[in-house]
Every structure is written in C-alpha cells, then in structure tokens.
Amino acid sequence: MALMIALSIFAIFLSSVYSNILYARQYAGIKIPFSFAIAGKNTKIYDFSNGAGIDKWAYRRQINQRPPSVNYLPSIEFNANQYNRISADDGIRQSEVASIGYYASHRFVFSINESNITSLHILWNGIGRNDWIFGGDGATLYIWNYTSGSYELWNTTTSATEVNLEANISLGISNYISSDGNLTILVAQNLPSFRFFFNFYSRLQTDYIKVDVTYIGG
C-alpha cells in the first residue's frame, strides 16, 4: 500500500514536470517572435548627400517676412552645385546676400518615408550675419506645423560665426509631417538688409543640414 502511494505521488510529480516543460516551450514559442517585433528602433539619416531634388529639396535666397505666413517661400530651388555645397559638413557653404528689405534665407523640404516615428532630430550648420555692426547677426530655425498652418521657432542664435542650430521633436510629431510625408524647415537670418547712408546686407550660409528620423520597425 505504501508503495502504491509512493508510486502515485511520483506519477503526479512527473506529470507536473512534463506540463511545466510544455508551458515553458509554449511560452518560449510566443516570446521569441514577439521580442523580434519590438526589437527594431532604427534611425535613418536624411541629408543632401543623396536624393537632392528627388525626395528632398532646398530653396534659396530671401524672404521679406520672418517667418513667412506660408510654407513655399523662398521658392528658388538650388541647382546641382548648390546642392553639393550643403551635402556635407565640410566648410563649403551655399551663401546668400539678400536685397534691401529682405532676410537671407534657405528653406528645406524632406519627404519622410518612415511610419511609427518616435523622434526627429534636425541639425543645421551654417553662418548668419548682417553687415550692421550694432546687432542683428545670427540665424533662426523654424519648422512648419501642418496642423496650425504656421511656422514655429525651434532654435536661434545671435552668433556671427558658424554654429549648429538643432531641434529635437519627440511629441506631436504628426503635426510636422504633411499628409503626403513632407517636413519643411526654414532658416532665416535675423535682420533684413537695409540702407542707412550705406547698404547693410543680410547674409546666410548653409554648410550642412540633416534630419535624423528615429522610428520603430524592422
């Protein structure tokens, strides 16, 4: 009788171990593909080293309102040489001198392919300055908000030397990407060209611009 009880307990023990193994296998089977699905957090770099004029565009020279109330100014597209100048952070710059009454300016449009975006990092490198010696140097970076239909100021400098202007967007990202996938960035010099006995010009130089797009996906 004691032997029967002992064998029964052993049988229950064995079946418990077996079911635990089954459970572990099922759990492992579910867990492994799930972990692949959430694993990929990737960053794609958009810059003018490729796709200039195809899925990213730059426009030049000047604007008479800072920022403009529309997102299509300035509207003169860069040519191939001008695109080359802003394709790398190498000290070679695309330079603008604005007419009297205008701010020197560049506008950039990136066609963003990714979905499930968690952050956008924008980096502009260049120089903004005005010939006037009592202020007005530097440049300001704006990003178009497609929901409000207006530019937002994201960074600014009063430096007359080469600087980085950066923006990190991690909230409300869909506001900054149009329904057809475009992100619009404007950089404008801080004081318009004007005449006071002499001409004092607004000058903007872009060395490099990029957008890092971080997204979840394979």
Binding site for Ca ion (CB under 5 A): 90, 92, 207
Q: Which is nearer to Ca ion, 87 or 118 (CB)?
A: 87
Min dist. Cβ of residue 53 to Ca ion (A) = 17
Q: What's the CA gap between 85 and 93, in Å, rounded?
A: 5
Min dist. Cβ of residue 206 to Ca ion (A) = 8
Min dist. Cβ of residue 86 to Ca ion (A) = 6
Q: What's the CA gap between 144 and 188, in Å, rounded?
A: 13
Q: Which is nearer to Ca ion, 51 or 118 (CB)?
A: 51
Strand 117-130, strand 163-169: pairing: antiparallel
Tokens, residue 175: 């506001």
Min dist. Cβ of residue 27 to Ca ion (A) = 53
Q: Which is nearer to Ca ion, 88 or 216 (CB)?
A: 88
Q: Which is nearer to Ca ion, 48 or 110 (CB)?
A: 48
Strand ranges in the chain using DSSP code E only, listed in sequence order = 41-47, 56-63, 76-77, 94-97, 103-111, 117-130, 139-145, 150-157, 163-169, 182-189, 194-196, 198-200, 202-216
